[in-house]
Amino acid sequence: MNIKITGTGSYIPNKIEKNNNFINHQFFTENKTLIEHNTTSIIDKFKKITGIEERRYASDHQNTSDLAFLSAKKAIINSKIDPETLDYIIVAHNFGDVDKNSSQGDTVPSLAARVKHKLKIKNPYCVAYDMLFGCPGWIEGVIQAQSFLKSNMAQKCLVIGAETLSRVIDKHDRDSMIYSDGSGAVILENTHDSGGIISSTSASYTLEECNFLFFGKTYNNISNDQNRYIKMHGRKIYEFALNQVPKAMKYCLDKTDFDFLDIKKILIHQANEKMDEAIVKRFYDLYNQKVPDGIMPMSIQKLGNSSVATIPTLLDLILKGKIKNQSIKKGDLLLFASVGAGMNINALLYQF
């Protein structure tokens, strides 16, 4: 038996937030001093570094569990399974349901329980739980689902990555322009088909790196806002990711009989275009090779960084023919990788 993805689905919110929508923002440094540069130049520099031109935000009436449900429903339809036969529903997220104009996360009940409720699944033995693992949460959910399937504790699992980061951003922080909302989901099953999950690796670096991403107050030093927002030490994360993610990718691949030349696509967490390009280059540098053309599909330019949702969303868009000049064929070997809060890293090798 092999563990394979038998269905995918994604939900891309309709609200488009373009870069010029930030033109009237006042940006402050993490030292809470006003950035005097023209906002247009700040936005132009941001685009050159991240590649982001626009991002998607959820509608005011939607929450993270709503987005998760919508992508899950599509994945179930795509797989043609009866949702009552699901054994596990795993929802990766970071902040729970956060209502518009609030930064307080709601995780009681869990988002997975809410998704199961919205799917109207009656089966009490369909276990629903949440995964908190930073941006690598969806891959980690897939790794856990693999364990359930491999041990015959399950036959079918639904793994979702969903986030509404637009609800937890400080409008006075330049990094607020990175984040977006979205959801992606997959159905995993034990099948007699060839391929499937080949190898995986996970790591948590917490000794010195734990607080590279954190929750903090607004950078606006004249504001009375007591809410807390997502914050990051961007340079430290960049350096950490370049040093550690390529090693994890290589370790994941080297545990198998496959060669780096066998890899057809690398689906990496859509965090920052320049950083992702540098990570993939470092990976191929470990084999003294150049990066093959078209090896790394990107969606960040139009969708931004939706954390746990970026990889499953990208996968679904490619499979549905919605990413230009990108496709996945039966037998193709894919390498997934992600890095995020914790600091956590993982990689997964999968053959379609």
d(CA 301, CA 55): 8
The sign one gets for the Cα dihedral 188, 192, 198, 200 is positive
Q: How far is CA 164 from CA 44, 62, 65, in A?
A: 25, 9, 9
Nearest to 318 by CA among 329, 309, 307: 329
Token pair, residue 326, equals 């990108």
Per-residue confidence of the chain (352 residues) as pLDDT tens digits? Answer: 899 999 999 999 999 999 989 888 888 878 788 887 788 888 888 898 899 999 999 999 999 999 999 999 999 999 999 999 999 999 999 999 999 877 678 889 999 999 999 999 999 999 999 999 999 999 999 999 999 999 999 999 999 999 999 999 988 888 899 999 999 999 999 998 889 999 999 999 999 999 999 988 888 877 778 788 899 998 999 999 999 999 999 999 999 999 999 999 999 999 999 999 999 999 999 999 999 999 999 999 999 999 999 999 999 999 999 998 899 999 999 999 999 999 999 999 999 9
Any idea where the domains of the chain sit in the sequence?
A: 2-193, 198-351
HSE-up of 208 (CA within 13 Å, CB side)? 3
CA-based angle 298:176:344, to the nearest 5?
65
CATH number for the domain whose boundaries are 198-351: 3.40.47.10
d(CA 63, CA 238): 30
Q: Which CATH number fits domain 2-193: 3.40.47.10, 3.40.50.2000, 3.50.50.60, 3.30.365.10?
A: 3.40.47.10
**pTM to 2 decimal places:** 0.94
